[in-house]
């Protein structure tokens, strides 16, 4: 198959939502359609010992939440689909923000009973900033929830989206009869039997036909006719260009747990979702169909296989063909590397691949060469932008609880920080190590992983810091800058990239510092020009 055809058949998307809206369940069901897994394991149910395919780590299995972004691929109707399932829990939002740099489109999952939740708002905002095309999936229709029209209004108001329903529910909760698919003009009846892999659909191209009354009963049929008339009256027609430019969002209804409404979503997605898109680097815009390979690291995951101490760097391929055993330039280190066993992911199986194309995600075994945001090319100096570190919300001193294991502890911290689990700051005054995280749950994850993966134990001590601000090095020769460094010495630290960071202990002290040193610039993310 030609290079261009391979690009045309790639779709790479992320699934985002608030925790518990059913994101991992939806991922499982999509894989089921791709024939990638035979039975889907529910995340919560203890009866199925299998556990969800996309939840790798032990801590995820214990808590029933996804903490790391997983990468899953499958084939469906000749299309190669790459899913990045992101953690919904707000303590892991940073991982999700980074993942959004690697996707071409997004599916937003919303719980019918809870509606739009705060985590969804934040993530959708990031997608809107980047004009990422979004499809909305309203989940759990087999439970009692909000009225469909109220929900659509809420999505428009809270998320600032322009929605177009492409399917519509017939009833809800106990009265849930099925879904009318406006995209394909058919009715899918809900049997409530989750053992059935795929529900039957019945074509009803004319809503006024008596066939509809036979299928769902007269009352439900009349309600549906009124509602569809309203839908077509209120909402604009679906416009693919508007969807691709991020200014219109199609909506589907269903129940992922019962595998209902998922096929409609998938069929439409394959039809309309964008192919791999060009990406802006600091130097120029890079197009997928260029013949020279380039890609960037958006995630590093250590010890995916607990029996082998390995780290995988996840690379999103932006242009050209990635080939096994071919030397590529690591731009930041300015050295050539080659990879003998690049991994692709099909459900939970890792496979070694010889060639990968734009849109694909490849896992490269890493001995510590990569950090998040690194670029690989065939020789050209390109730096892809947009994988920043955010200012953490929580800060603690980290102490070694076992003096005999200090080497293991430092190695563990080092690798976990490269993975982007948290950020490490070293105080200028006394060299003490401070860990900053976006959410408090990360401290547990770090402690657990240090012990189970590196055999090191740590304890924490609280540290009263309000915000970490990166200090712009411009003007470091001035007297003002030197005085700032002298006066604020005990609040200064270096991050892993050796950038100077000011740890402000309160909003007030940050404000006072900014007033006292007006020419020094403070940044709340590590990436600034």
pLDDT on residue 52? 54
- pLDDT value, residue 305: 53
Please give the backbone phi and psi of residue 155, each rounded to the nearest 5 degrees, phi first.
-65, -40
Q: Which of 33-47, 90-104, 292-306 has the lowest mean pLDDT?
A: 33-47
Region 342-366 average pLDDT = 81
Of 54-68, 194-208, 249-263, minimum mean pLDDT range: 54-68
67-71, 269-273, 496-500: lowest mean pLDDT where? Answer: 67-71
Contact at 8 Å (CB) between 283 and 383? yes
pLDDT per residue as tens digits for the range 461-503: 999 998 899 998 887 788 999 999 999 988 999 988 888 999 9
Per-residue pLDDT, 35: 67
Residue 386's pLDDT band, with cuts at 50, 70 and 90, is low
Euclidean distance between CA atoms 121 and 103, whole angstroms:
18
Q: pLDDT tens-digit profile of 204-258?
A: 666 777 777 777 778 888 888 888 888 888 899 999 999 999 889 999 998 888 8
Could you tell me where the DSSP H helices lie in 253-357?
262-272
Distance CA 445, CA 387 (A): 22
Residues in a beta bridge with 470: 501, 523
How far apart are alpha carbons 345 and 366 in whole angstroms?
Answer: 17
Q: Which pLDDT score, from 0 to 100, does residue 287 have?
A: 93
Q: Among 105-109, 200-204, 390-394, where is mean pLDDT lowest?
A: 200-204
**Model pLDDT, residue 60:** 53
CA 97, CA 124: separation in Å to the nearest integer?
Answer: 10
Half-sphere exposure of 215 (CA within 13 A, CB side): 26
Model confidence, pTM: 0.76
Bigger pLDDT: 389 vs 232: 232
pLDDT digits (tens, 9 = 90+) for 105-116: 999 999 888 888
Q: Crossing angle for the helix pair 148-159 and 218-234, nearest 10 degrees?
A: 30
Looking at residue 219, its pLDDT comes to 83
pLDDT greater than 70 at residue 87: no
The pLDDT, as a whole number, for residue 131 is 86
Higher pLDDT, 204 or 308: 204
pLDDT mean over 308-336: 87
pLDDT at 274: 92
Give the up-direction half-sphere exposure of residue 410: CA atoms within 13 A in the CB hemisphere: 8
CA gap 335, 341 in Å, rounded: 19
The more confidently predicted of residues 181 and 244 is 244
Q: Which of 176, 173, 181 is nearest to 228 (CA)?
A: 181
Residue of higher predicted confidence among 359 and 56:
359
List, in sequence order, the alpha helices (H) in 9-106: 23-33, 58-63, 93-99
In this predicted structure, the answer to whether residue 148 has a pLDDT above a threshold of 50 is yes
What whole-number distance in Å separates Cα of residue 426 and Cα of residue 252?
A: 49
Measure CA of the first residue to CA of the last residue in the chain; give whole Å.
42
């Amino acid at each position: 198959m030609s290079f261009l055809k391979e690009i045309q058949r790639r779709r790479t998307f992320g699934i985002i939502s608030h925790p518990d809206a059913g994101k991992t369940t939806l991922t499982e069901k999509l894989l089921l359609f791709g024939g990638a897994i035979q039975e889907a394991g529910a995340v919560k149910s203890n009866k199925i010992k299998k556990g969800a395919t996309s939840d790798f780590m032990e801590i995820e299995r214990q808590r029933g939440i996804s903490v790391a972004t997983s990468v899953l691929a499958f084939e469906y109707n000749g299309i190669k689909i790459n899913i990045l399932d992101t953690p919904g829990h707000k303590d892991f939002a940073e991982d999700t923000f980074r993942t959004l740099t690697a996707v071409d489109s997004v599916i937003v999952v919303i719980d019918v009973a809870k509606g739009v939740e705060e985590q969804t708002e934040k993530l959708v905002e990031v997608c809107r900033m980047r004009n990422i095309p979004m499809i909305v999936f309203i989940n759990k229709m087999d439970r009692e929830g909000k009225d469909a029209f109220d929900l659509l209004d809420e999505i428009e108001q809270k998320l600032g989206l322009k929605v177009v329903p492409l399917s519509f529910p017939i009833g809800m909760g106990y009265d849930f009869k099925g879904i009318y698919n406006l995209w394909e003009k058919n009715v899918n009846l809900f049997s409530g039997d989750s053992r059935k892999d795929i529900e039957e659909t019945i074509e009803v191209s004319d809503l006024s036909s008596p066939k509809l009354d036979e299928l769902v009963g007269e009352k439900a049929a009349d309600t549906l006719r009124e509602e569809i008339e309203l839908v077509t009256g209120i909402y604009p027609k679906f416009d693919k260009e508007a969807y691709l430019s991020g200014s219109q969002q199609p909506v589907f209804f269903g129940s992922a747990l019962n595998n209902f409404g998922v096929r409609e979503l998938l069929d439409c997605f394959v039809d309309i979702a964008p192919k791999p898109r060009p990406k802006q680097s600091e130097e120029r815009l890079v197009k997928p169909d260029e013949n020279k390979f380039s890609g960037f690291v958006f995630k590093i995951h250590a010890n995916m296989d607990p029996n082998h101490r390995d780290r995988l760097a996840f690379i999103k391929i932006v242009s050209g063909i990635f080939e096994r055993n071919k030397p590529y330039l690591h731009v930041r280190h300015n050295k050539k590397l080659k990879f003998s066993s690049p991994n692709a992911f099909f459900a939970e199986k890792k496979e070694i691949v010889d060639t990968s194309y734009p849109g694909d995600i490849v896992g490269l075994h890493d001995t510590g060469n990569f950090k998040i945001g690194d670029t690989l090319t065939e020789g050209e100096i390109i730096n892809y932008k947009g994988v920043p570190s955010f200012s953490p919300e929580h800060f603690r001193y980290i102490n070694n609880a076992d003096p005999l294991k200090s080497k293991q502890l430092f190695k563990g911290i080092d690798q976990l920080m490269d993975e982007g689990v948290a950020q490490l700051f070293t105080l200028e005054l006394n060299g003490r190590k401070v860990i900053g995280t976006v959410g408090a749950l990360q401290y547990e994850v770090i402690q657990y992983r240090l012990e189970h993966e590196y055999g090191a134990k740590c304890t924490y001590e609280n540290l009263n810091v309000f915000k970490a601000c990166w200090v712009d090095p411009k003007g470091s020769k001035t007297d003002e800058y030197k005085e700032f460094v002298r006066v604020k010495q005990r609040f200064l630290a270096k991050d892993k990239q050796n950038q100077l960071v000011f740890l402000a202990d309160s909003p007030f002290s940050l404000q006072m510092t900014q007033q006292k040193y007006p020419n020094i610039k403070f940044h709340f993310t590590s990436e600034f020009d």
